[in-house]
Amino acid sequence: MKRPELVVAGGTAVVTGAAGGMGEHIAKGLARRGADLVILDRDADGLARVVADIGRETPGARVTSHVVDLADRAAADAVIARIRDAHPGVTMLFNNAGVAVGGRFTQVDAEDFDWLLEINLLVPIRFTRALLPLMLENGEGQVVNTSSLFGLVGPPGQSAYCTSKFGLRGFSESLRSELEEEGKPVGVTVVHPGGIRTNIAVNARVAGGVDPAEAERNRRAFAKMLSFPADKAAEEIIEAAVARRPRLLIGNDAKALDTMARISPSRYWSVMSRAMALAAKRK
């Protein structure tokens, strides 16, 4: 079933991780298109800045903000319930918030692994469970889940992150298939950004078992690969949601590695590792 384009103006969009990076620009782009917003982040100052920016750039835009640490299940569930009850007109859900933990599986302890899974995978599932019924009742909606390049390929040192992002990809694809098979008016877009210029590498936790010098080398290598502008990525995400696209790859790195992983699923890492080694040497 081919659905009509999503109507943004007059709808209500929920955006997690909205205090910076892609989430900030998704929120601003939706406000410019006439949506009411419900935005969340644990960064109170950053969230207040985004609210002020939207008020200045898009006068009249209605914005509700919630400061919440999504790793705190009780607090997150309370906010999810509050949003569900206060905003029955929700038609868009952008599960954008994400965190990273650097380290191999044997270096990342269970606490850090669970912390990452909670934010990157379980929170999007719980948001979707709460808000999908509203979208179905409203007769229109789109769930947009931000996976990653590392939801397409699995490099060493990213076992926790890849687990969450492959999981979010699988959840998104299966949910989309179910909704399509049932002829429902809600679609699902899964987004696989490549190297987007955000602070995720800077803010990543480092597992206790990782050598500090190794962690810093890896952080610099990843940071140098983050070159795609966050505002441009956000516009691509919004347009993909409007067009009801099932899948969006952002950046040449994501597109190339997706192709490579499908053509040679057992050898793509050798190429990726050489690219990262070159990036680490750049000044």
Q: Based on the domain organization, do 258 and 190 belong to the same domain?
A: no
Q: How far is it, in rounded angstroms, from Cα 195 to Cα 95?
A: 18
Q: Based on the domain organization, do 105 and 216 belong to the same domain?
A: yes
179-217 tens-digit pLDDT: 999 999 999 999 999 765 555 555 555 656 665 665 555
Assign residue 193 a region: left if phi > 0, alpha if psi is -120 to 50, beta otherwise? beta
Q: Based on the domain organization, do 139 and 265 belong to the same domain?
A: no
Place of tokens 């680490």: 280
* Residue 23 near residue 16, CB atoms below 8 Å: yes
Q: Based on the domain organization, do 46 and 171 belong to the same domain?
A: yes
Q: Based on the domain organization, do 136 and 267 belong to the same domain?
A: no
Q: Based on the domain organization, do 267 and 232 belong to the same domain?
A: no
Other beta carbons within 10 angstroms of residue 168's beta carbon come to 24
User: Which residues are known to be catalytic?
Assistant: 161
Residue 143 β-bridge partners: 93, 188
* Residue 194 near residue 261, CB atoms below 8 Å: no
* Residue 142 near residue 188, CB atoms below 8 Å: yes
> Is 122 part of any domain?
yes
Give residue 217's Cα distance to chain centre.
Answer: 25
pLDDT class for 283, splitting at 50, 70, 90? very low
> Is 137 part of any domain?
yes
Place of tokens 């100052």: 45
Domain that holds residue 158: 12-250
Q: Based on the domain organization, do 183 and 275 belong to the same domain?
A: no
* Residue 171 near residue 180, CB atoms below 8 Å: no
* Residue 182 near residue 137, CB atoms below 8 Å: no
104-160 tens-digit pLDDT: 999 999 999 999 999 999 999 999 999 999 999 999 999 999 999 899 988 888 899
pLDDT class for 254, splitting at 50, 70, 90? confident
Q: Based on the domain organization, do 242 and 257 belong to the same domain?
A: no
29-49 tens-digit pLDDT: 999 999 999 999 999 999 999
Q: Based on the domain organization, do 20 and 32 belong to the same domain?
A: yes
* Residue 119 near residue 167, CB atoms below 8 Å: no
Q: Based on the domain organization, do 259 and 124 belong to the same domain?
A: no
Q: Based on the domain organization, do 270 and 240 belong to the same domain?
A: no
> Is 2 part of any domain?
no
pTM: 0.88
> Is 227 part of any domain?
yes
Hey, is 177 helix, strand or coil? helix
Mean pLDDT of the chain: 88
| Angle at alpha carbon of residue 140, lines to 139 and 143, rounded to 5° | 135
> Is 3 part of any domain?
no
CATH number of the domain that 138 lies in?
3.40.50.720
